Amino acid sequence: MKLQTISIFVDDQHRAVDFYTSRLGFSVTADIPMGEHRWLTVVDPTRPDGTQISLEPKGHPAVRPFTEALAADGIPFCVLGVDDVHNEYDRLVALGETFTQPPTPMGPVIVAVLDDTCGNLLQLAQWVG
Amino acid sequence: MTDIYKALADETRRVLLDELLGRDEQTLFELCMKLAMNHDLTPTRQAVSQHLGVLEEAGLVRTERRGRYKFHTVDTTPLSQISERWPSREVQP
């Protein structure tokens, strides 16, 4: 068994796919119209068999209060591993993206917290051992 | 209004002020992580939130909501009343 797909709830699928591809470097694996929304997944192009992210619309009424409460307290929804968190921080800030937490050493990792522009925070983590 | 002495009486709140000196505008998540990693303190998130509330009521922390996020910044101004009330003085032998 492997973790095939996780869902990240997003405000807007158009903005989400733009952010996750052009800013974070994921590539689209599925984009299937489903009525008002799309079944929209992305994956790390260097690991096409890796876990996909479904950019899921916030259809269910419980989702918005949940994501808003996490965001208000600065809690990232998931962790993305990076080789050099300082480089990623500088690159994304230069592109106008927002971090709620700059790279911060936390024991075996250096972490930063990034706004995904569609309602979530993502933790970028660099393992330093 | 909590007086600053009561706010300072708690070790976790003093550590929160120490960590807040490091950088303005920190989230609750960042502060919880720093308590755990740097001080081996693991109160619940709700407890940390309550501690920040006491510090805010005493005027030692300012909270700003920007966009979706809530940030905390230290304000040491109220601490000056301590040294004004009890200024340090040379003890004559």
Distance from CA of A79 to the nearest CA of B (A): 14
Q: Domain span at residue A41? A: 5-127
Angle of helix B11-22 versus helix B45-57 axis, rounded to 10: 80
Sign of CA dihedral A22, A85, B75, B58: positive
* pLDDT, tens digit (0-9, with 9 covering 90-100), for B40-79: 999 999 999 999 999 999 999 999 999 999 999 999 999 9
Q: How far apart are the C-alpha atoms of A119 and A6, rounded to whole Å?
A: 16
Specify which residues A57 forms β-bridges with.
A10
* pLDDT, tens digit (0-9, with 9 covering 90-100), for A36-82: 899 999 999 999 999 999 999 998 999 999 999 999 999 999 999 99
- The answer to whether the CB atoms of B27 and A74 lie below 8 A apart is yes
* pLDDT, tens digit (0-9, with 9 covering 90-100), for A23-49: 999 999 999 999 889 999 999 999 999
Matching CATH number, B2-82, of 3.40.50.720, 3.30.1130.10, 3.40.50.970, 1.10.10.10: 1.10.10.10
Longest dimension (CA), chain A: 47
Segments in B9-79 forming alpha helices (H): 11-22, 28-39, 45-57
> Which ipTM did the prediction report?
0.89
Q: What SS3 state is found at A7?
A: strand
Predicted TM-score of the model (pTM): 0.91
Question: What is the DSSP-derived secondary structure letter of residue B26?
Answer: B
- Which of A9, A97, A100 is the best mutation test for B, with the most CBs of B within 10 A? A100
- The answer to whether the CB atoms of A100 and B70 lie below 8 A apart is no
Average pLDDT on B74-86 reads 94
Over its C-alpha atoms, chain A yields an Rg (Å, rounded) of 15
Provide the number of structural domains found in chain A: 1
Q: Which of A100, A106, A107 sits opposite B27 (nearest CB)?
A: A100
The pLDDT, as a whole number, for residue A55 is 98
Nearest-by-CA chain A residue for B28: A73
- Could you tell me if A119 lies within 8 Å of chain B, comparing CB atoms? yes
What are the angstrom distances between the C-alpha of A73 and each of A12, B46, B49, B92? 22, 11, 9, 52
Distance from CA of B32 to the nearest CA of A (A): 10
Residue ranges per domain, chain B?
Answer: 2-82
* Mean pLDDT for all residues in chain A: 96
Type of residue found at B49: S
CATH code at A11? 3.10.180.10
